[in-house]
Structure 1
Amino acid sequence: MVYRLSSRTWRFLILVMVTTVIFTVAYNIGMARWENRPQSMIQSLEVVFQSFTTTGYGQDAPWETPQMNILVIGMQLAGVGLILAAINAVIVPWLRSAFQPSLPTDPVTLEDHVVICGVTPRTESFASEMDTRGKEYVIVESDFEIATELYEAGQTVVHGDPEVVTTLEQASVDKAAAVVVDASDDVNASIILSVREINSEVTTIAVTEDRELREYQRIAGADELLSPRQLLGESLAVRAKTATMSIVENRMEITDDLELAEISVTEESPFCNTTLADCRFHKRYGVTVVGAWDKNEFIRLPSSDFKVEETTHLLIAGTSDSVNDLQAGLRSTSHRRIPQRVLIAGYGESGAAAKKALSEEDMAVTVLDTEDKSGVDIVGDARQPDVLQEAGIEDVSAVIVTVSNDTTAIFTTLIASDMNPDAEIIVRAIEEENTTKLYRAGAATVEALATISGQMIATTIFDDSPLTSFKAQILTASVTSDYLSGKTVAEAERKTDMNPLIIIRNGNAIFEFDPDSFILETGDMIVGKG
């Protein structure tokens, strides 16, 4: 195994050289001027090394003048400091490297796999999607430490620069089904060109941020350009539109005979403040309630006495015709307040996409941002109560928060929910781990950018359509290998981090099952909450 010097080690070596030169020159001058014992520079260097390594001072000791004794004391202290620094900068990294497993250098032997270039929160979310689906993938990572961590975690990893053809060849791009690139726009283009040099037919997907530079990635050879922030903005707009009406949304076809959909319950809904038994979904429309989000908690197969309240979201399953009947019934009983007023705090790509989607519904939209630019109505900080008041926070039915970072989003949510407790606070989270904080701050809906990104990539590659739910993602997993086949539903839940809701077996939907005893078989499909 070849040991690679880290940047910290290089900095330490430079410090040793600089310190040695300074003390060598100082000692040489001191011996000549203060001790009247001139010597060669090489002799002075020898004494400095003797001092740093605590091996003695040889023929030069003792020294007569105070100045030289102080200089020697300084050399001794510097030597002790360098020894302590060496432990942290050289010895510990060397020992860690010595006991680390060597990264593989042979080409991977997979076929029809997905090559992921770059480790980001978005590609990590996509990798989780791949694990859920039981699909194979290879991660190409240039950072040695990150690549080692992934390898030790059991991931298939190629360490190297994804812009280099030989690295991509080691990842078997020539046999891959798709390549996902997620780096800066210029690096993305370079990687895509390298991919095309190896495999001109492989599907290449680029995650991009800068709208002005997207076309150049397509010129480089990208088949699909994904903009998660834009999609997320549109998704947030959907949440705002349902703030004062009950509709069936996010329909997802599971099989030819089964669909999933979500019902957003509001104050005007005919189901508000009733029990599921009173709603009679199955008798009226032929649909089954398989889950519910209530007070930020997901409930699988809620009981008949479950009380449906304002802001409850129901997950229903049924045939396409039965879901159509339910949708028609809700439209005939819904009473919208026209126009709704929505406040958008933060006017980046997500905020602009949300405004566009809401404007198409003839809704009154007010945009608040810190920058005075086209499309912004109120300029100011959303964390200031007087600015929110100027933007009409007290009169809106929904607030969409797409500010630049999660810390600002959390504080904005706290203030907005306090100033208008009745408003639906809908927030974009940059980091998934901040989702819980945002709910506690008063958000009714939080959608994480990384989660949406991972689902977008998976949807593009596998040509399916994940359901973006109110407070979770509905995912599907096919039982195609020993990874899940022969396991109980409870074991599958632990392996996939997915709460199974429905098992599809031989075209039949199974809603009620014991997770600890129900055994999965090859060919089954699991529908669950991720």
Structure 2
Amino acid sequence: MRELRNVRGLHPRDLTGRQRLLVVYVIGLISVVFVFTLLYSWGMATFENRPRTLLHSLNKVVETLTTTGYGADSPWQSPEMTVLVITMQISGIVIGFITLRVLVIPLYERSPLNLDDRLSIKNDHVVVAEYRRDTEVLLDELEELDVDYVLVESDREEAKQLSDDGYQAIHGDPEDGDDLERASIEKASTLITDAGDRTASVVLTALEANEDLRVISFTASVRRKAAFAEIGVDRSVAPHALIGRRLAEKATTPVTVDSDLDDTSVAIREVLVRRGSSLHGVQIADSPLVAHPNLTLVAGWFDGELRVPPSPTDRLTPNTVLVIAGPEHTLDEAAKEVSGVRNPRDSSHDRIVVAGLGEGGTAAVETLPEHVSVTTIDQSGGADVVGDVTEPGTLEAADIGHASALIVTVDDDATALLAVAMARSLASDIEILTRVTETEKTAQAFRAGTDYVLSVQQLCARLVAAEVHGERVMDPVGQIRLVRADASAFSGETLQDVRRETDRGWTVVGVARDGGVRTDEETVIESDDEMFVAGSDEAIQQFEQTVDTA
């Protein structure tokens, strides 16, 4: 069974219905024993003229309730004590039945438990009304962000398995208002639905119960977004189109921001850690790029997730893209010195092959800049090359040997992996960007030869979890900014001191002084310096509201 996480103590809100029942049972049992003990001690002294200590009285009460005997105190002469003992005997029988129902029977009966009893009290939570992808990936993301939720799953066995694994899941029909009511839809803040053709029905049913719901839905095609908006959907996600756009953007529009000040030149570059690199497994803090005295880590892409900035303990993987800032010449030299990385600025993708012309492939083609020459491959008509992408003849017909990048967006993961391996065997230097459906196929894609891979399940889960959590969801491009600012507010501090706070979303790259740029951490900021600040667009906006920028 999956280990329970996010334990937040024994607050009543965090207890499931069954746990609350057990708490009431234990408190009630203790209370009954305590009251009978006091009554027995008082009765023996008052009516029998045989005083007993509380410990002795407690022993007699337990003996009576458990029907194990009465010892030397019996028989009792007074009618009052006889009635008290009879009452205790009857109470023992009742407690026995309650114990069987509350503790024993649920533990051993084979009939399934009511999953609703496992739900904690819900308010201002998320209702997930069906999720057709890897449900655990989404729920793990929600739990990671400490977002309270209920999953309504139409498959009974799947719901039970998820509940047994510790997730807040119940079995029900998301189109049924009563089942949504069991998930406390009227108290929810957000609805997430991935019900295919039933999405409209699910959304309308939920909004009848709670018109203030914020609705996030998944759709197979971007063509349905307008219809979903009409019925009240606030955010529609077309996963395959989203992945296609992101792969195209990653292939052609790396982060690259330059800022010139007299003779100074500060830039931001993406550096891709390629497969086969010696940097694999190295912690961020120990990597030569980040440890370089004149470079500053701004952000990092980890399996499609942008972290601004990443944690120093994060480890580099074949899918890592670091966003580094510093003097332009230093950036270029450092990137060349480190084996197994690629500076996207040095590789202009002017000829790209797109394998798969479904929703994702079409979105990728539409996203690519006009100056890029695109060759499409698909088994159906409409593609430039019609054929099997796993066949060498098909790839050769698309002139794979002269292409700078290959974007693989075929629907089947097994086909995608074989296509990657075939393309790598025909063109060892081509950059391959791949979409997979299942998260566990990511590692296999790297072994097959891809340079960059995004999982539909993982990316969708992260995107939705971030939306629910209230975080701004960043796109691959246009999210990093570099500005100049008056440094007087930080006068007397070293660059190391200013960079130490990593939770602001921005960092100081360096200071401009005497026609040059100082980036060493020991540099002390002076009042007449100008400093270069880099970070997420939102963080830079907040920075600019508090510090005068040049």
> The TM-score by the shorter chain falls in which range?
0.5 to 0.7
Q: Are the equivalent residues in 1 in contact too, given 2:406–2:433 (CA < 8 A)?
A: yes
What residue number does 2:465 align with? 458
Which of 195, 206, 211 lines up with 1:183 in the alignment? Answer: 195
Q: Are the equivalent residues in 1 in contact too, given 2:248–2:367 (CA < 8 A)?
A: yes
**Structure 1 pair 419–468 and aligned structure 2 pair: CA distance change class (3 A):** farther
Give runs of aligned pairs for residues 23-38 of structure 1, distance below 5 A: none
1:426 aligns with 2:433: yes
1:264 aligns with 2:276: no
Which of 145, 162, 167 lines up with 1:150 in the alignment? Answer: 162
**Structure 1 pair 290–182 and aligned structure 2 pair: CA distance change class (3 A):** closer
Deviates more, 1:193-202 or 1:214-223: 214-223
TM-score (norm 1): 0.56
**Structure 1 pair 447–116 and aligned structure 2 pair: CA distance change class (3 A):** same
Q: Are the equivalent residues in 1 in contact too, given 2:416–2:434 (CA < 8 A)?
A: yes
What residue number does 2:225 align with? 214
Q: Are the equivalent residues in 1 in contact too, given 2:189–2:214 (CA < 8 A)?
A: yes
Distance between the aligned counterparts of 1:411 and 1:136, measured in 2? 40
Q: CA deviation at 1:335?
A: 5.7
Identity rate, percent: 29
What residue number does 1:45 align with? none
Which of 341, 355, 362 lines up with 2:351 in the alignment? Answer: 341
Q: Are the equivalent residues in 1 in contact too, given 2:128–2:151 (CA < 8 A)?
A: yes
SS at match of 1:151: helix
**Structure 1 pair 384–176 and aligned structure 2 pair: CA distance change class (3 A):** same
1:125 aligns with 2:137: yes
Which amino acid in the other structure matches residue 359 of structure 1? P
Deviations 1:202-242 (A, max 9, x none): 10111111333333322222121111212111111123226
Deviations 1:98-117 (A, max 9, x none): 25433226986211110001
Give runs of aligned pairs for residues 92-107 of structure 1, distance below 5 A: 98=110, 100-104=112-116
Alignment length (residue pairs): 346
1:439 aligns with 2:446: yes
SS at match of 2:115: coil
**Structure 1 pair 326–122 and aligned structure 2 pair: CA distance change class (3 A):** farther
Gaps of 5+ in 1: 1-94, 250-259, 267-275, 294-298, 318-322, 470-501, 510-530
Distance between the aligned counterparts of 2:435 and 2:401, measured in 1? 21
Distance between the aligned counterparts of 1:345 and 1:170, measured in 2? 45
**Structure 1 pair 368–148 and aligned structure 2 pair: CA distance change class (3 A):** same
SS at match of 2:160: helix
Distance between the aligned counterparts of 1:112 and 1:327, measured in 2? 48
Deviates more, 1:384-393 or 1:281-290: 281-290
Which of 215, 222, 225 lines up with 1:204 in the alignment? Answer: 215
Distance between the aligned counterparts of 2:358 and 2:379, measured in 1? 11
Q: Are the equivalent residues in 2 in contact too, given 1:291–1:300 (CA < 8 A)?
A: no
Distance between the aligned counterparts of 2:374 and 2:440, measured in 1? 30
What residue number does 1:401 align with? 408
**Structure 1 pair 463–435 and aligned structure 2 pair: CA distance change class (3 A):** same
1:116 aligns with 2:128: yes
Q: CA deviation at 1:313?
A: 4.8
Distance between the aligned counterparts of 2:368 and 2:506, measured in 1? 39
TM-score (norm 2): 0.55
What residue number does 1:367 align with? 376
Which of 154, 173, 181 lines up with 1:161 in the alignment? Answer: 173
Which amino acid in the other structure matches residue 443 of structure 1? T
SS at match of 1:121: coil
What residue number does 2:18 align with? none
Which amino acid in the other structure matches residue 359 of structure 2? E
Distance between the aligned counterparts of 2:166 and 2:330, measured in 1? 50
**Structure 1 pair 113–365 and aligned structure 2 pair: CA distance change class (3 A):** same
Q: CA deviation at 1:427?
A: 0.8
Gaps of 5+ in 2: 1-106, 259-267, 275-285, 304-309, 334-342, 477-499, 508-550
Q: CA deviation at 1:180?
A: 0.3
Q: Are the equivalent residues in 2 in contact too, given 1:117–1:162 (CA < 8 A)?
A: yes
Which amino acid in the other structure matches residue 410 of structure 2? V
Which of 241, 261, 265 lines up with 1:230 in the alignment? Answer: 241
Q: Are the equivalent residues in 2 in contact too, given 1:123–1:182 (CA < 8 A)?
A: no
Which amino acid in the other structure matches residue 382 of structure 1? V
Distance between the aligned counterparts of 1:431 and 1:406, measured in 2? 8
Give runs of aligned pairs for residues 268-347 of structure 1, distance below 5 A: 283-287=293-297, 301=312, 313-315=320-322, 323=325, 336=346, 340-347=350-357
**Structure 1 pair 348–508 and aligned structure 2 pair: CA distance change class (3 A):** closer
Which amino acid in the other structure matches residue 373 of structure 2? A
